[in-house]
Structure 1
Amino acid sequence: MATVGASNDSECPICMGPVQRAVVSRCCRHRFCNNCIAAVQQTAGQGGASGRCPYCRSERFAFDSVREPPPQLPPQQPIRRPPPQASARIHRCQAAQCRFTGTENDFLDHLVNRHRRELLENHHLLFSQQQPPQQYEDPPERDPRLAENGKTYCGGPLNGPPCDCCSGVCGPQDGCNCVHCMTIDLANFQVTHGNSLVNKFGRVASLSSENGHFYCAAIMGLAELGGSGDSIAYCGPIDGPNCEACQALDVQCGSRYASLM
């Protein structure tokens, strides 16, 4: 057995190494390896001698297990979050006669560069206590009817700002309709998502995530685009030129039909 003379409590006096699975003696409260004490007890039992404490030589040969402290963890580092990324959503400018579309940063630059005066004159409206817009409802005397193009018209005045393509009346046979009749159109065409409307030609048009324009994917002559009338092109469906009816929705979705988007 090794000479007992160690005084370092983290070092086993038997093996002279770091204490493993520590036990502590009840006599001198010194720490030993569990395996070293087991070997001492086994050797003492084989020789017929009464075991003594390997450190203080006391005859009270009893030990208790020691619960090891949990390992020390390195100090927690603060979580470094990546800087917020600009939204990829396409924004459409609602200014009259302006067809700009772009991502968040480009849209903000456009507002500052092209509509600076309007922003300065009307910025107080952004922070004023405004009442929420009233839900548009048709008067009870209106009677919505289904027209040949598949759309619904009630014959009453159109809500929202006037558009350049209609007479300001909802139908009664074609053209644009009021928001109440558009709600009926969406139900009749079983449109459940909030980024589609039914244009005045009776086609379901969806808002493109690429450029913020409406497209109905219908065939249209290139004459509408200033080309040959003998050729054909499609309205979208993802990007590119859109038909006359979808161009009207580009403007109306932010005003007349804003509550449906």
Structure 2
Amino acid sequence: MKGQLDEEDIMCIVCQELPINAHTSQCCGCVLCEECTGLTLKGSKQLCPNCRNQNPKFEKNVYLIKLINKFPAICKYECGYVSQVSDIKNHYKNCPKKTYQCTNCEFKGNHQSFFNHITSIHKDEVIQIFDKSLQQSSALSTPKQSIDPLQEVKNSRGDICHIGKTSKFYCSKNVGHKCNTCDGQCGPNDGCNCPPCMELDLKYRNLKGQQALVNAEGKVAFLTNGSFYCGTYSNDYGKCGKIGYKCRYCTSLTSDLPYYKHLLQ
């Protein structure tokens, strides 16, 4: 029918999806969802994504919200569920075909298999998160540490240490091993550090007892199935910990595990 409103006419100009809590710009009338509106106004250079007008103003379009909420919405996980836009988000929370990616390892699965995975493979981490008695005990035994840049810091070996550009501790002494991210020296600015300085990294990040170390890039990496993963995202390979990919810093940390293993106990 002529004049009929199609979905593509009211798609969010940024994410190209039906807008949730639609907003329209005062400058050109373009449509954005509430989340994309916030991202647009959050940037240092605030420009309308459509007409590039500076310092755009957006208003919630109540009429458009009511109209869009009546649109049919098909589940993006292809389970066959059809609903209205206003209800589809509730469905996504329990969709049987939605997949979840474990942040500590390579596992990926649906709601039930993911729940089974984290409560079996990562049960110790789950207990640590939700058991208040353990949290309180940890808070009492390992109070939050702060770094005073004017105060001299020494590692357990008695060497004076400083913070490098990776936010790790370095004493400039011999590390005891070489890898593809260091030259065998503890700093002075980046790379691997010696076990006593790694111990300081764990202390000041409150990571003792967490089965985690700090890799040469300064990222916290968790030990899972014998390997370290930091979760850092790469444009070429994706997230460190995704199936088939481990960043070079975590690769080195995994190979260096014998030097640091006593710090995880």
Question: Normalising TM by the smaller chain, what interval?
Answer: 0.3 to 0.5
TM superposition score normalised by structure 2: 0.39
TM superposition score normalised by structure 1: 0.39
